[in-house]
Structure 1
């Protein structure tokens, strides 16, 4: 049984994610936890999933600190604040409204790693848990962690005030704490889609460029200095410059990394990150450490003492000196501060952008296909990374062949510093895949 993906357990409610699963996870987690923080995003299904999860924890004798509807980074950071053993966010993050999920957190703010996930999966599969005695069941305490999150982020930022005009698109999610933080810093804040609603009526939850056109238009046509967008649980953050330009994930990653890292340090990024990030950071002697795709892997790499920052172009940003949890509100305050010091439009003009090509190829058995691809590529190329699929560094370009996490597909990505070379490398990558499909 495989329950956990790259970002916890997620899937359609009533199919993959059920009250029975939440109850079993609570029981399994309660085996070795005395205290657990629980919170959820605004999805309607989150209420009964939370109830089932809490029931399983309390039945196991585990005390629960219930923070209610809260941003996932609020839950992740609250584990350490309340000296808890673990945290659980009932959320499907940026997925559609019909989905929900469960994501587990360690006291460091890092999501459960592979060992922790496997331990929970095994207990659920084996039914390896016992209820506590009738008079030793766990208690439930409610706690408003939002105010604590706002206070901590303001302290993390170490800045007195910002006289900036900011539009925050909360995306009908749990990220209202960002408004609290920016307001406390002296910003003039206007909101979009600020009412929590798990149906996400204002826009789809994922803050992609095509879902943030209202934000981009409002920022461009008003006197706003910057726009901020979150997904449903506010672990992701995307930004819009004052001219309405939506910042790509790679550009945002490059800006955050360069501001966080000193010469000689490194930043952790997934294997599908643009070559432009490495080029931009090399100008100031900052290196890149590649990881598998998924914020848990970025967080693991960010634990190294010389790694100053970790991020995924999808919008997850990690400052290991503060927390190993992707913190969208901290990212929002940080990029607003960068913009206040120097406009984003000026900063992004300095980050190179290169042509990138993407394709998806249907296969019958992605695991066996990728095994054959791996063998061939390792035999034909010298600079190969197999952390997550197969990534080949060609010096002036790279390509990646990676199995889809949810479908019988192999994702093909190629990037170079000019258009013709990018097309050539994509063709090379396809050639590596073709024999493996036979």
Structure 2
């Protein structure tokens, strides 16, 4: 991983490590990388996003590149519009699920997907060697009004609208004060859904329940689904590329479990396909894929890793355990609204409730947590866990396979100064035992 780019773009605390001077210089580096425009620029609802966008477009212009601003949109909207509307690249101003004081840049290639790790290093080389230039001719700055319409049109082409409308579904949308408030309610209306909105006002402070949907902060969603007798609920993260579902009984589903269901549905229609996921995702996906003679390939953690592997392998599905699901026939990126549309298509096709569909999956139980951790402390954690007598995977941090259905994994976050701990097992009691044991081991290292 580079010095500036983390797991997913460039991020930092605004006015501390993400200063306006840094934003200008990294944008100048991006301009030198892209070489030509036009570049599509969008942003989420964070307080600092609009001022950062002004610096970005001014720097692109001074570098001689034309740009167009599509305004406040979900990240997958900007990505799809970059591809479909013929832009040479895109810059999304967002820090995704990070706390409000953060912001950042996600850099999109002309194919609508974040640039590769190799290209990130090229941008960093330009930055550190200061190989940017001021053009004698300013680039033209325009607006792009079609981004959301093009995005939603692309989603609707992938599903059976008539069948969904015949279902007359009721959905609770927890928009998390984030960018999907600009798109998801419109999509639901177009699909004939009755919608109940929670945290629908865009607010960069994310006062409703924070910018990241977790089982711990979705109690309001759960209660509203039950109260309104909705078919399901869905919660989006700050920039709208990830989604967490709630079934009709109020049960919050993990990203892994919903990904298993969506993957099963898609692979039944497209057998003998390829599916890409990261090393911290559920091991049950191999069983789901084998039922349709499909193959699972794993990557390091990060949507860039999964997306670029999808392109290389021509994979139809990609996903992460955090609720990031990718449908290759639309775009090889995480997309909260596309994911919601696939679930609507599934329920309209089967006629079953979401809970009944979930019950048809093989059992698996997963959990995760995070602790404050420096790079030096993480090295000590790796050393301790390497002495464990189990099969080890060092693709990203360290993953221990404890038996055929149980594993534990620890990795250093690429976006925050924390370590993330993941685990999976075949029963809740066994999962609790495993997770508590290794969480204490990790904490013991940090307490020394």
**Global fold match (TM > 0.5):** yes
TM superposition shift of 1:359 = 6.7
Distance in 2 (CA, whole Å) between partners of 1:437 and 1:197 is 38
Distance 1:315 1:409, change over 3 A: closer
Aligned partners of 2:5 and 2:120 also within 8 Å: yes
What is the DSSP-based 3-state SS (H/G/I as helix, E as strand, rest coil) of the residue aligned with 2:316?
Answer: strand
The CA distance in 2 between the partners of 1:308 and 1:41, in whole Å, is 28
Aligned to 2:354: 344
Separation in 2, partners of 1:412, 1:166? 32
Report whether the alignment pairs 1:43 with 2:46. yes
Q: Distance in 2 between matches of 1:184 and 1:357?
A: 36
1:12-91 mapped onto 2 (5 Å cutoff): 12-31=13-32, 32-91=35-94
SS at match of 1:156: coil
SS of corresponding position for 1:274: coil
Kept in 1: contact 2:411–2:419 (CA 8 A): yes
Query: Where does residue 112 of structure 1 map in the other structure?
Result: 115
User: For residues 81 and 301 of structure 1, what CA distance do their matches in structure 2 show?
Assistant: 21
Residue 415 of structure 2 is aligned to residue 415 of structure 1: no
Cα deviation digits, residues 385-407 of structure 1 (max 9, x gap) = 32212324443433324234467
Aligned residues: 433
Cα separation, partners in 2 of 1:430 and 1:291, compared to 1, 3 Å: farther
String of CA shifts for 1:131-164, please: whole Å, max 9, x gaps: 110xx21111111211111111111224334221
What residue in structure 1 maps to residue 103 of structure 2?
100
Counterpart for residue 304 of structure 2 = 296
Matching residue of 2:211: 205
**Gap runs ≥5 in structure 2:** none
Counterpart residue number, 1:319: 327
2:178 maps to 1:173: yes
Q: Deviations over 1:154-207 (max 9, x none)?
A: 112243342211221222211131111121111122222222221222221212
> Structure 1 260/373 Cα, relative in aligned 2: closer, same or farther at 3 Å?
farther
What's the CA shift for 1:69? 0.6
Cα distance in 2 for partners of 1:193, 1:400 equals 33
> Structure 2 vs 1, CA of residues 188 and 16 (structure 1 numbering), >3 Å: closer, same or farther?
same
Correspondence list, 1:368-407, <5 A: 368-369=379-380, 372=383, 384-393=392-401, 394-405=403-414
Give yes or no for the alignment of 1:249 onto 2:249. Answer: no
> Post-superposition shift, 1:58?
0.5
* Corresponding position of 1:129: 132
Superposed, 1:131-280 pairs within 5 Å as 131-133=134-136, 136-144=137-145, 145-160=147-162, 161-162=164-165, 163-175=168-180, 176-261=182-267, 262-280=270-288
| Distance change >3 Å, CA 435–CA 191, structure 1 → 2 | closer
Evaluate the alpha carbon distance shift between residue 434 and residue 198 of structure 1 in structure 2; reply closer, same or farther with a 3 A threshold.
Answer: closer
Q: CA deviation at 1:299?
A: 0.7
Deviates more, 1:36-45 or 1:221-230: 221-230
Q: TM-score, normalised by structure 2?
A: 0.87
| 8 Å CA contact 1:226, 1:242 repeated in 2 | yes
CA positional deviation for 1:22: 1.7
CA distance in 2, matches of 1:199, 1:425: 32
1:94–1:206: 8 Å Cα contact kept in structure 2?
A: yes
Q: Taking structure 1 as reference, are residues 340 and 105 closer, same or farther at Cα in structure 2, changes over 3 Å only?
A: same
Distance change >3 Å, CA 193–CA 274, structure 1 → 2: same
CA distance in 2, matches of 1:252, 1:421: 19
- 2:317 — aligned with what? 309
Q: What's the CA shift for 1:426?
A: 7.4
Counterpart-to-counterpart distance in 2, 1:364 and 1:110: 29
CA distance in 1, matches of 2:254, 2:308: 24
1:335 aligns with 2:343: yes
Q: CA deviation at 1:79?
A: 1.3
1:290-338 Cα shifts (integer Å, max 9, x gaps): 2111111111221244622001121111112221221111111111222
Q: CA deviation at 1:60?
A: 0.4
**Matched residues in 2 for 1:198 and 1:101: separation?**
13
TM-score by length of 1: 0.89
